[in-house]
Amino acid sequence: MTEPVVIAIDGPSGAGKGAVTQHLAQRTGFHVLDSGALYRLTGLAARLDGIELSDAPAVAAVARGLAVQFIPTQSGNEPFEIMLRGVAVTDSIRTDQAGVDASTVAALPMVRAALGDRQQAFRQAPGLIADGRDMGTVVFKDALVKIFLTASPEIRAERRYNQLKNKDMDVSLPALLESIQARDTLDSNRAVAPLKPAEDAVVIDSSGMPLEAVHEAIWAVVSKVVT
Ligand code: DC
């Protein structure tokens, strides 16, 4: 039996993967995997349990046992209400600190292994749009389309700033830029599943592009193979 198709959207933090993923999901009717949310949820759950984020076996156990739900929303900024252990954490996993914690636990090979099957389970008919860092290089190596979406750190920090401001979060642009650069370094230099384009990925730099143009550039690639 052939597996449902996967479209992998990888790239660094703030490149616009989330918006592109939602756009593609609307156009194709495919399911969505926000793999970054799983790492963010693991970091948050470990903190709630009082576990040191460097304690790989304990954090991996948290990852394996994550009780999460992604409930589609009909309106609002977020496509899903995300529940951890029955409590809505949609906004609390989006803080900059939650991103740093996610990046820290994501560098642990045991944690990546623990989340592997959970990510595979999102692959269901009619297809999947998978958003992350290693969707095309590790988790869904056989993805039909692989996009690596990037932008300069300054532009990504500005986009993140606007997103978090929209959620009424107290953020500073210079601090966000520093955090994004630190996260890029951590995500790109880790031993397991580092952030890098797959050899067969189409690389799109969205730095000078309005969102509409990014959507169209990606649809031009996807629509050649997905009808
Ligand atoms: O996409 P995001 O900002 O929500 O991801 C948060 C962190 O999780 C990111 O800094 C690195 C990690 N991550 C990862 O290592 N692999 C993925 N597939 C997705 C996210």
> pLDDT tens per residue, the chain (227 residues)?
689 999 999 999 889 999 999 999 999 999 999 999 999 999 999 999 999 999 999 999 999 999 999 998 877 677 899 999 999 999 999 998 999 999 999 999 999 999 999 999 999 999 999 999 999 999 999 999 999 999 999 999 999 899 889 888 888 999 999 999 998 998 999 999 999 999 999 999 999 899 999 999 999 999 999 87
Compute the half-sphere exposure of residue 41: CA atoms within 13 Å on the CB side of its CA. Answer: 27
Is residue 79 one of the residues assigned to a domain?
yes
Specify the ligand 1 atom closest to the Cα of 186. 10
Dihedral of alpha carbons 112, 146, 12, 94, sign: negative
18 is a domain residue: yes
58 in any annotated domain? yes
Range of the domain at 14: 5-222
* 211: nearest Cα among 19, 5, 74: 19
Say how far apart CA 114 and CA 207 lie, in whole Å.
Answer: 34
CA 117 → CA 51, 112, 140, distances in Å?
23, 10, 11
- Which of 92, 103, 135, 190 for a ligand 1 pocket mutation test, highest count of atoms within 8 Å of Cβ? 103
Which CA distances in Å does 68 have to 94, 96, 103? 15, 21, 19
* Number of domains the chain is built from: 1
Q: What CATH number did the domain enclosing 119 receive?
A: 3.40.50.300
Report the candidate in 7, 5, 44 with the shortest Cα–Cα distance to residue 22: 7
Q: Give the C-alpha separation, 177 to 153, whole Å.
A: 7
**What pLDDT, on a 0 to 100 scale, did the predictor assign at position 76?**
64
Residue 227 lies in a domain: no
Q: Which residues line ligand 1 (CB under 6 A)?
A: 13, 35-36, 39-40, 99, 102-103, 106, 132-134, 183, 187
Look at residue 124 and tell me if it is in a domain.
yes
pTM recorded for the entire structure: 0.94
Give the pLDDT score at 125.
Answer: 97
In a domain, 100, yes or no: yes
Q: Has residue 36 been placed in a domain?
A: yes
Q: What is the pLDDT of residue 3?
A: 92
